[in-house]
Amino acid sequence: MSDEKKPKRRQQVFTLLVEVGRKDGDGLPENATGAALLCYASGVDEAEAVRETVAILKQAELAPLDVTGYGTPEERAAQGHEIEAEERELMARALAENAVIVAQMTPFFSED
């Protein structure tokens, strides 16, 4: 066995858009069909951030259906995304607290 430790991978923050469906006790408006959640999640890579986000949303009685990753702030900036100061503060908080921050929730409604 080697006494050398693997280099510790640095935590980063990722922007994720999570689509959720309906589930009893989910707290969504009564006539909503689901919602989109804009989340900032920390992880050593995007896959870990997605796993942690899905696990936390399930604990919160939500039903995650799909996750779209938009990368780190650096990756987003390279793609031309403008990141407001408030958004950067939430990202910094997610990183500092090793947490998942739900920044915005937009319910979906059927047009029936």
Q: Which domain holds residue 19?
A: 12-109
Give the three-class secondary structure for 70.
strand
- Domain assignment of residue 80, yes or no: yes
DSSP result, 8-43? PPPPEEEEEEEEEE--TT----TTEEEEEEEEEEEE
- Domain assignment of residue 82, yes or no: yes
Tens-level pLDDT at each residue, the chain (112 residues): 445 566 678 999 999 999 999 999 899 999 999 999 999 999 999 999 999 999 999 999 999 999 999 999 999 999 999 999 999 999 999 999 999 999 999 999 987 6
Residue 112, pLDDT score: 64
Give the separation between CA 54 and CA 66, rounded to whole angstroms. Answer: 9
Q: Give pTM, 2 decimals.
A: 0.88
- Domain assignment of residue 2, yes or no: no
- Domain assignment of residue 6, yes or no: no
Give the separation between CA 31 and CA 90, rounded to whole angstroms. Answer: 29
Q: Edge-to-edge strands of the sheet including 32-43?
A: 63-71, 12-21, 32-43, 100-109
- Domain assignment of residue 37, yes or no: yes
- Domain assignment of residue 5, yes or no: no
Give the separation between CA 15 and CA 79, rounded to whole angstroms. Answer: 13
- Domain assignment of residue 28, yes or no: yes
Q: Is the dihedral of CA 75, 48, 105, 93 positive or negative?
A: negative
Residue 8, pLDDT score: 74
- Domain assignment of residue 23, yes or no: yes
The tally of domains found in the chain comes to: 1
